[in-house]
Chains A and B, each alone.
Chain A
Amino acid sequence: MAELLIQQSVNWITLGSIYALLAIGFSLIFGILNVIHFSHGDVAMTAPFIALAAAQILAASFGAFAPAWLVLAVIAAVLAVGMIGVVLDRVVIRRFRDAPAMMALVATVALGIVIRELIRHLYPQGSNPHAFPRLVSGVAFDIAGVPVNWFVLLVVGTTALLVALLFVFLRMTPLGLRIRAASEDRLVARMMGIRDHRVFQATFFIASSIGAIAGLLFASYAGVTRFDFGVMAGLLGFSAAVIGGLGSMPGAIIGGLVIAGIEVLAQTFVEDGASYRLVFVFVLVIVVLVFRPAGLLGRTTMEKV
C-alpha cells in the first residue's frame, strides 16, 4: 500500500507539473487579453511533432542519430512554437481582443481544429500516433523501494525552473512588469499606454514556449504523440487555469496539481477509474466553479453600479 501511495504521488507530481505548465500559458494569455486562447493546447502539442521532424532532418543530414540532435530538436521546437503563438496572435487572436468573450472562444476553438488538421495533413502519416522518446531514461534514486526516474526529476525540475524564471521575469524586468500591469488592471494599463505590440508578442511567445515544453514533456510521458492530443491537453490545462483562478500564476500551479490529483486518485482508488478519470476531473471542475465561481485563488470582481 505504501509503495502504491508513493508511486502514485510521483505520478501525481509529474502529471501535475505538466498541467501546471499548460495552465500557466492559459492564465498568462487570459491576463493580458481577457480572452481564452482555447487552441493553446493544440499549439503546445505541435511541439512534439516539430521536434520529431527536426530530429529526423538533423539525423538525415548529419548521418547517425545522436542524443545531441534530440536536444537541438527540442530547443528548435520550443522556439518555433513560441513563434507560432506570436503569429497566431497577430493574425487571428488579437482581432478578438475587444469582441464578446463568446466570439473569441468559438474562434479559438476553430483555430484548434485548423491546427490539428494541419498537423494531420502536413505531417507524414499525420493521422497515426507517433512514438516519442523519453527525453531522459534510467532510475535516479528510490524512495522506500519505489524507483524514481530521471524523467520525473526532469519534469519537476523543469517546471520549478520555469516557474522561478517566470516569477523573476514578471517582477524584475521592465517588460515583465508591463505584462503584469496589463494583466492586473487592463483599464489602468490601457490608460498608461501599455498597449504596445511588445507586451502581446512577449506574452504569446512566453506562453507558447512554456506550452511547447509542456507538450514535449506530455508526449514524452505518454511515449507517443498524436495530432489530436491537443484537445485533451487544452481542456485539462484550461480547466486547471480556471480552477486555480484565471490570471493567477500560483492558481495555475495549484489547479494543475488538483486536476492531476483527482485523475491519479480516480485511477488508484476507483474500480475502472482509468476509464472514468475524465468524468471525475470535470465533475470536480463543475463543483469548484459552483462554489468558487472565480476559481480557488481568483478574485471575484464586483461590478460597479
Chain B
Amino acid sequence: MGGSTSSPAPRTATAAALAILSQLCGAALLYAILKAEGTWHVAGLLALLGLGFYLLERFPWIGDFVTASLARVPLVTMATAAVIVLGFPFLVGTNTYVLHLLIVAQLYAVLALALNFQLGSANIPNFATGASYGIGAYVSALLALNLGMSFWLTLPIAALAATLFGFIIGIPSMRTRDTYLALVTIAFGVVVQQLLNNLDWTGGPNGLVGIPAPSLFGHSFASPLQVFGWTLPSQANFYYLAAALVVVAIVTAQRLHGSRIGLAWNALRADEIAAKAQGINVAWYKVLAFAVDAFLAAFAGTIYAFYVSYISPDNFTFLVSVTIMTMVIVGGMDNIFGVIVGAFLLTILPEKLRAFSDYRLLFFGVVVIGFLMIRPQGLFPQRLRHYGGHR
C-alpha cells in the first residue's frame, strides 16, 4: 500500500486485457462454486480460493497491479462487468436454485454495503441493519397488500420510512459509544422484531403472505423472462432487479466514499476529538451514517419481500444483523469490493455445505471466530485514497 512503493503503471493494452481476464476469472470461479456438488468439489474450490488469497497477501503487487489496470481502463472494466452480470443467467440456464442463491447473495451485498458506511467508514456498531431491512420489507408489503400500491411506488416510500427509523436509532449515537451504543442498536433491533411478531396488522408470527409480484411495462416478474428467443426462469427478473440495486449501492458507496462525507466518516473513526477540531459535526455524521444504512437496507428489504412474496419476523432477527456485520468484517471494512466478496462468500458457502446442512450455523460461527483471530482486517483491507491518477 502507499505511494512510496508505487508499482509499474500498466500500459493501456495490458490493462484492458487484464481487466477483462481478471473479471472473467472471477466470474468463472463464482460459477464453479455455484455449480459445485459434493464435499470434495467444494473443498477443492475452497482450497483454490485460499491459495488465491494467500498469493494476494504474499505478493501484494499482484493486487495493486490488477487494481491499477481496472482503474486505468474504466470503460473496458465496466463493459466487461456489465456483460458478465447480464449474461450470467444465460449461463446458469434453468437452474433456479442457483439463481435464487445469486439473488439472495446480491441482496446481502447491498445490506453489507449499507452497513459498511457505519461499520467500515465510521466504525460505529450497528446491530439493527436487520431491523431496517425488515422495516423496508414490511412497509412495502403492507402498502402493496392493503392499498394495492405498485412495487415501484412502495420502493421509495419504504426507503423513506426506514430512513426515518435510521435517524431515530441514530439519535442515541450522539450520546453513547462503543459497547453502550451497540446495546442501543441491539435493543432497537429486538423492539422492531418483537413488534412485528406481536402486532396484529403485521400478521404476527405468521407474517404477511401473498405479496404480489411486481411488473414492469406489462411484464409480470412472476412469469419467465424471454430475451432474444431465450427463455429464462422467472427468478431471472429478480436477479436483474437485485443486480440493478447492487449497482445503485456501489455507485452510492463510491460517491460518498470519494466525497468529503466519506472523509469525515473516516476522520471520526480514527479520532473523534480530532475530527471535531476539524469542524466536523460528529453527531450529525453519525446519525447520517445510520440513515444511509437504513435507506439502502430498505431497498433490499422491499425487493426481498416482493421476491419471496412471503415475509415473517423470523427473516429479520438479530442473527441476520450479525450475519451482515460478519460479511463486512470478513470482506474488509471500508473496502467496497471486499464487502461484496464477503457477502457472496458468506451467503453461498454455507449453502454449498449441504453435506453438513445441519452444522451450517456451527460452521458459520467457527469461521467467523477463526477469521477474526487470524485476519481481523478482512480479506481485502481498506486502501488509501489516491487522487489524480497517482499510483
Interface residues of A (CB under 8 A from B): 30, 36, 92, 95-96, 99-103, 105-107, 109-114, 116-118, 121, 231, 235, 238-239, 242, 246, 272, 275-276, 278-279, 282-283, 285-286, 289-290, 293-295, 303, 305
B157 within 8 A of A: no
Q: How far is the CA of A111 from the CA of B182 in the complex (A)?
A: 17
Set of chain B residues within 8 Å of A118, measured between Cβ atoms? 362
Name the one of B179, B191, B362, B376 contacting A105, with C-beta atoms under 8 angstroms: B179
Q: Whole-angstrom distance between the alpha carbons of A103 and B329 in the complex?
A: 8
Contact count A vs B, C-beta below 8 Å: 124
Q: Are A290 and B365 touching (Cβ within 8 A)?
A: no
B179 pairs with A101, CB closer than 8 A: yes
B116 CB-CB contact with A under 8 Å? no
Check B171 for interface membership: any CB of A closer than 8 A.
yes
Is B82 interfacial (CB-CB < 8 Å)? Answer: no
Q: How far apart are the CA atoms of A160 and B175 in the complex, in Å?
A: 34
B368 CB–A CB distance under 8 Å: yes
Please give the residue numbers on chain B whose beta carbons come within 8 Å of chain A beta carbons, in ascending order.
119, 123, 125, 171-172, 175-180, 182-184, 186-188, 190-191, 194-195, 197-198, 273, 318-319, 322, 325-326, 329, 358-359, 361-362, 364-366, 368-369, 372-373, 376
Q: How far is the CA of A290 from the CA of B186 in the complex (A)?
A: 14
Are A117 and B359 touching (Cβ within 8 A)?
Answer: yes
- Shortest Cβ gap from A45 to chain B (Å): 16
Q: What is the CA–CA distance of A65 and B179 in the complex, to the nearest angstrom?
A: 46
Q: Is the CB–CB distance between A103 and B372 below 8 Å?
A: yes
Contact between A111 and B369, CB atoms less than 8 A apart: yes
Q: Report B-chain residues with C-beta under 8 Å of the C-beta of A286.
A: 172, 184, 187-188, 191
Return the contact of A279 from the options B183, B191, B359 (Cβ within 8 A).
B191
Alpha-carbon gap, A181 to B196, bound state (A): 45
- What chain B residues lie within 8 Å of A103 (beta carbons)? 329, 372, 376
Instruction: Identify 29 residue pairs between A and B in the complex whose beta-carbon atoms are under 8 Å apart, listed by A's number.
Output: A92-B369, A101-B182, A105-B125, A106-B329, A106-B368, A106-B372, A107-B372, A109-B322, A110-B365, A110-B368, A110-B369, A113-B361, A113-B365, A113-B368, A116-B361, A117-B365, A239-B187, A246-B180, A272-B198, A275-B198, A279-B194, A283-B191, A285-B187, A289-B172, A289-B180, A289-B183, A290-B172, A294-B180, A305-B273
Inter-chain contacts of B190 with A (CB < 8 A): 235, 278, 282
Q: Contact at A95–B373, with CB atoms within 8 Å? A: yes
Q: Give me 4 other A-B pairs in contact (C-beta within 8 A), A239-B183, A242-B180 excluded.
A: A103-B329, A114-B366, A276-B198, A289-B172
Q: For A275, what are the chain B residues with a Cβ–Cβ distance below 8 Å?
A: 197-198
Interface hub of A101, A110, A112, A295 (most chain B Cβ within 10 A)? A110
B174 to chain A, nearest CB (A): 9
Task: A43 to B262: give the CA distance in the assembly, Å.
Answer: 40
**Contact at A285–B362, with CB atoms within 8 Å?**
no
Whole-angstrom distance between the Cβ of A57 and the nearest chain B Cβ: 25
Smallest Cβ-Cβ distance to B360: which chain A residue: A117
Chain B proximity of A296: nearest CB distance (Å): 12
**Which residues from chain A contact B361 at a C-beta distance below 8 Å?**
113, 116-117
Give the docked Cα–Cα distance between A111 and B358 (Å). 17
Contact A113-B362, Cβ < 8 Å, known A36-B179, A106-B325, A242-B180: yes
Given contacts A101-B178, A110-B368, A238-B183, contact A117 B362 (CB under 8 A): yes
User: Which residues of B lie under 8 Å from residue A36 when comparing CB positions?
Assistant: 179, 182
Taking a contact as CB atoms closer than 8 A, the residue among A101, A106, A279 that contacts B195 in the complex is A279
Q: How far is the CA of A272 from the CA of B172 in the complex (A)?
A: 29
Instruction: List chain A residues, Cβ under 8 A from B191.
Output: 278-279, 282-283, 286
Closest beta carbon of chain A to B119's beta carbon, Å: 7
Judging by beta carbons under 8 Å apart, are B171 and A290 in contact? Answer: yes
Question: Is there an interface contact between B198 and A285, defined as CB atoms closer than 8 Å?
Answer: no
Assess whether B364 is in contact with A113, with CB atoms less than 8 Å apart: yes
With CB as the reference atom, state the residue of chain A lying closest to B369.
Answer: A110
Q: How far is the CA of A12 from the CA of B351 in the complex (A)?
A: 44
Q: Indicate if the CB atoms of A303 and B179 lie closer than 8 Å.
A: no
Within the complex, which residue of B176, B198, B373 is in contact with A293, where a contact is CB–CB below 8 Å?
A: B176
Chain A residues within an 8 Å CB radius of B176: 289-290, 293
Partner of B183, one of A99, A110, A242, A305: A242
The interface residues of chain A lying within 8 Å CB-to-CB of B366 are: 110, 114
A127 and chain B: residue at smallest CB distance: B358
B325: which A residues are within 8 A, CB to CB? 106
Chain A: CB-nearest residue to B277: A305
Nearest CB in chain B: distance from A270 CB, A = 12
Q: A279 — which chain B residues lie within 8 A by C-beta? A: 191, 194-195, 198
Taking CB atoms, residues of chain A closer than 8 Å to B322 are 106, 109-110
**CB-defined contacts of B369 to chain A, threshold 8 Å:** 92, 107, 110-111, 114
B376 — which chain A residues lie within 8 A by C-beta?
A: 99, 103
| Bound-complex Cα distance A95 to B368 (A) | 14
